[in-house]
């Protein structure tokens, strides 16, 4: 079937099977390999993308569910001039990754959080991010990165 969607701000059409999951279509048909796949059962958050602004697990979302909707992946976060999004920069500045496998999903989940709640408390961050698993960092740098991103975005809005 032909799937039409708005992908990272651009109208996009792609041929895919009715049974294909969104993560497969992004990675294998559209070459957007920033979205990672690990557990494949909606437990780890590695495959998090935003559909109409809300975080979803691309490993358990059928591609056709994204039909005519807006999908944002990690590749769509950088600014038009190529500079990193403040959330991406905050993860670098706080050394909030090691192997990096969880990082795209962490960043996309953070984007959803800060879009909805620009000034989250620690508890709110921890609650929001509890579907995103990291095996490397111990989470403290990720918490710091999210708080740094919140401050950076606040500065940008001034």
Q: Which residues bind ligand FES (CB under 6 A)?
A: 37-40, 42-47, 57, 59, 97-103, 134-137
Query: For ligand FES, which is the closer residue by CB, 119 or 140?
Result: 140
Q: Smallest distance, Å, CB 7 to ligand FES?
A: 18
In 3D, which of 116, 115, 110 has the Cα closest to residue 97?
110
Query: For ligand FES, which is the closer residue by CB, 45 or 76?
Result: 45
Query: For ligand FES, which is the closer residue by CB, 127 or 154?
Result: 127
* SS3 (DSSP) at 139: coil
Rounded CA-CA distance 86/37 in Å is: 24
Q: Smallest distance, Å, CB 6 to ligand FES?
A: 22
Q: Smallest distance, Å, CB 34 to ligand FES?
A: 13
Q: Smallest distance, Å, CB 63 to ligand FES?
A: 14
Rounded CA-CA distance 152/66 in Å is: 31
- Spatial neighbors of 91 by CB under 8 A, at least 6 apart, are 97, 103, 106, 107, 142, 145, 149
* SS3 (DSSP) at 51: strand
Query: For ligand FES, which is the closer residue by CB, 79 or 97?
Result: 97
């Amino acid at each position: 079937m032909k799937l039409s969607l708005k992908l990272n701000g651009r109208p996009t059409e792609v041929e895919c099977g009715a049974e294909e999951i969104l993560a497969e279509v992004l990675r294998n048909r559209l070459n957007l390999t920033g979205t990672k796949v690990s557990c494949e059962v909606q437990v780890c958050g590695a495959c998090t993308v935003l559909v109409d602004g809300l975080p979803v697990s691309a490993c358990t979302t059928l591609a056709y569910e994204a039909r005519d909707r807006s999908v944002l992946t990690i590749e769509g976060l950088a600014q038009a001039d190529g500079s990193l999004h403040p959330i991406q920069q905050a993860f670098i500045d706080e050394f909030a990754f090691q192997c990096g496998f969880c990082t795209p999903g962490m960043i996309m989940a953070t984007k959803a959080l800060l879009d909805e709640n620009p000034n989250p408390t620690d508890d709110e961050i921890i609650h929001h991010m509890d579907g995103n698993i990291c095996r490397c960092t111990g989470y403290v740098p990720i918490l710091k990165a999210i708080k740094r991103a919140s401050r950076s975005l606040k500065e940008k809005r001034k």
